[in-house]
Amino acid sequence: MVSGHVFVDCGGKIVDEYRGSLRAKGEPGPGDEFLKWILTHEWGGTRVTRVHITARAGDAEDFVELAPPPAGIRYDRPDRKFLAVAFAHADHPPILQSLDSKWWGWREALAAQGVSIHFLCPEEIAARYQARMGR
């Protein structure tokens, strides 16, 4: 989200992933509130932008718009839709990341490809990444 604006895919894969792990009522946590915000604004056209991404034949979790991963990075299948939206949109909107620490390790390589990662809690995610990766 940048200045109250979110980018999702036209096919609803991103929203479906949020629905699978968050509560649409907006309670009790900030992730739930985020989902409620998306569901409230997703069809208004001013706060949520839908980006067309094209699934590759035979693989609904791989996308034509997804650039090859930089050296040393292997995209998790569920993360590909977020990356494909960022690569597909002309503005290359940032990907918001809360607690998945592998993105901390990817940030510089993805930035070199034109996609930035915005960390909601950068100190915490850096510490998680260092603890997990020993760096």
For 94-103, the pLDDT digits (tens) are: 999 988 899 9
Write out the chain's pLDDT in tens, 135 residues: 446 789 999 999 999 999 998 888 777 888 888 899 999 998 887 899 999 999 999 999 999 999 999 988 999 999 999 999 999 999 999 999 988 899 999 999 999 999 999 998 899 999 999 998 876
61 inside domain: yes
Please give the residue range of the domain that contains residue 81.
6-133
Our count of domains for the chain comes to 1
18 inside domain: yes
**What's the whole-model pTM score?**
0.88
Which residues are within 8 A (CB) of 51 and not within 5 positions of it... i.e. 6 or more apart? 7, 8, 9, 10, 85, 88, 89
55 inside domain: yes
Give the length of the chain.
Answer: 135
Q: Please tell me the predicted confidence (pLDDT) of residue 2.
A: 47
92 inside domain: yes
116 inside domain: yes
In angstroms, what is the C-alpha Rg of the chain? 15
24 inside domain: yes
1 inside domain: no
